[in-house]
Structure 1
Amino acid sequence: MKFNIPNALTWARILLIPLFVGVFYLPDSTLPILDKNLISCVIFVIAAVTDWFDGYLARRLGQTSSFGAFLDPVADKLMVGAALVMLVELERVNALIAFIIIGREITISALREWMALVGASRSVAVSYIGKLKTTAQMIAIPVLLYHDTLFGVHVRPIGTALIWVAAVLTLWSMGYYLRRAQQALKDAGEV
């Protein structure tokens, strides 16, 4: 593995996960819940911005690599998974929603691996609906982590609505990828 800035940013995102989770396990006397909410929200937003930035730098600096292509989505899924588990524990997200989103990520990751093995990885390349799902999710999670008022508006209902939208888009995008993969596998004689 060759060191480069994009991969370092991806590793930094992974290293933020224990910090992100650990914030909630500090005693309330050390760090009140409102501060925990704000700090976890800021860490998550930093991770999300880092995700965009490492991809941009990899392309801009010509530092793309197979290792980076592997590690980047792993870092994303770990961070989103950790956030959803914490939000379920804090009773801000329904466990069913967390299961749908995390289950879809595992399913599509396995599907992409399988499709790569049969030489049909282009059939499960990132789609527009997948990008919409990610956008809804990446707005909903920090809003639900923040869990306070912003400009006089309590943000929890907004975050809750967006996470439900993300769950629906998650199922829709999973169906889309599975249909595309099924056709590619039929064409390749795999099913």
Structure 2
Amino acid sequence: MSSADPIPRERRGGAFSIPNLLTYGRVLAVPVVASCLFVQVIYEGGLWLRWVALAVFVVAAITDYFDGYLARIWSQHSTIGRMLDPIADKLLVGIVLLMLAADGTILGWSIWAAVVILSREILVSGLREFLAELRVSVPVTQLAKWKTTLQLVAVGFLIAGPAGDRIIAGVTQVGIGLLWLAALLTLYTGFDYFRAGLHHLIDEDEP
């Protein structure tokens, strides 16, 4: 390339760029974690399956940071990456929460914390889809990123659950406490999104 040639400022990533591969891996991790929890409870597998599930979950959660980071520093942005990244996050948290409620790790009133988290994610996804039709973008806030991080940490403690309690008493209770904190932060960030999109909803209904 000669000095007179233009230097591209941004290079779009293909479907098989490294950031996208990390996102695909996060999606594939979901059935692995769910299967480990299912086998451990339904087929009375060993508690070692909890540690396998936790290890896979932690690796998947770490990719949540690195896929976006690498896409930015390498300028490998892609449409499929922007579409799939939030879906992968919601699948990872949502399906594992359902499995933890099914196996009894999340019980009683604590189920409402999981319900709040799942309901918010569905409602915000619907709002984003509606606003996308109006060509309105609602950026992800820093607080929403912290919300996702807190959800992942809480779910990690709960995956360890009874296996962790055998090593350090109270691991499950710590996870339940973090889950409630995540639910409260989830409510707040959800309100923020609806407030940001509310005037677009009102304007659309006006004659």
Equivalent residue for 2:88, pick from 75, 78, 81: 75
1:100 aligned residue: 116
Structure 1 segments, 4+ long, off by >4 Å, are 27-30
1:134 aligned residue: 148
Unaligned 5+ residue runs, structure 2? 1-13
Equivalent residue for 1:24, pick from 34, 37, 44: 37
CA deviations over 1:25-52 (Å, ceiling 9, x no partner): 33678841x2122111111111100111
1:175 is the counterpart of 2:156: no
TM-score normalised according to structure 2 size: 0.82
Q: Distance in 2 between matches of 1:67 and 1:131?
A: 20
2:68 aligned residue: 55
Structure 2 letter corresponding to 1:182: L
2:54 aligned residue: 41
CA deviations over 1:83-124 (Å, ceiling 9, x no partner): 101110122223322221111111111111211221221xx2
Identical positions, percent: 38
Going from structure 1 to structure 2, the CA distance change for 1:150 and 1:115 (only over 3 Å counts) comes to farther
1:113 is the counterpart of 2:113: no
Going from structure 1 to structure 2, the CA distance change for 1:149 and 1:128 (only over 3 Å counts) comes to same
Coordinate RMSD, CA, aligned: 2.1
1:7 is the counterpart of 2:23: no
Q: For the Cα contact (< 8 Å) 2:33–2:53, is it kept in 1?
A: yes
Q: Distance in 2 between matches of 1:31 and 1:146?
A: 14
Q: Distance in 2 between matches of 1:86 and 1:168?
A: 21
Going from structure 1 to structure 2, the CA distance change for 1:86 and 1:129 (only over 3 Å counts) comes to same
Residue 2 of structure 1 aligns to a residue whose secondary structure is: coil
Q: How many residues align?
A: 186
CA deviations over 1:167-188 (Å, ceiling 9, x no partner): 11111111111111103444xx
Q: Distance in 1 between matches of 2:78 and 2:136?
A: 20
Residue 175 of structure 1 aligns to a residue whose secondary structure is: helix
CA deviations over 1:143-175 (Å, ceiling 9, x no partner): 111111487442111111110011111111111
Residue 26 of structure 1 aligns to a residue whose secondary structure is: helix
Going from structure 1 to structure 2, the CA distance change for 1:27 and 1:44 (only over 3 Å counts) comes to closer
Residue 190 of structure 1 aligns to a residue whose secondary structure is: helix
State the shift of 1:23 in Å: 1.1
Q: For the Cα contact (< 8 Å) 2:38–2:99, is it kept in 1?
A: no
Going from structure 1 to structure 2, the CA distance change for 1:116 and 1:27 (only over 3 Å counts) comes to closer
Structure 1 letter corresponding to 2:133: L
Unaligned 5+ residue runs, structure 1? none
Q: For the Cα contact (< 8 Å) 2:40–2:49, is it kept in 1?
A: no
TM-score normalised according to structure 1 size: 0.88
Going from structure 1 to structure 2, the CA distance change for 1:4 and 1:150 (only over 3 Å counts) comes to farther
Q: For the Cα contact (< 8 Å) 2:29–2:56, is it kept in 1?
A: yes
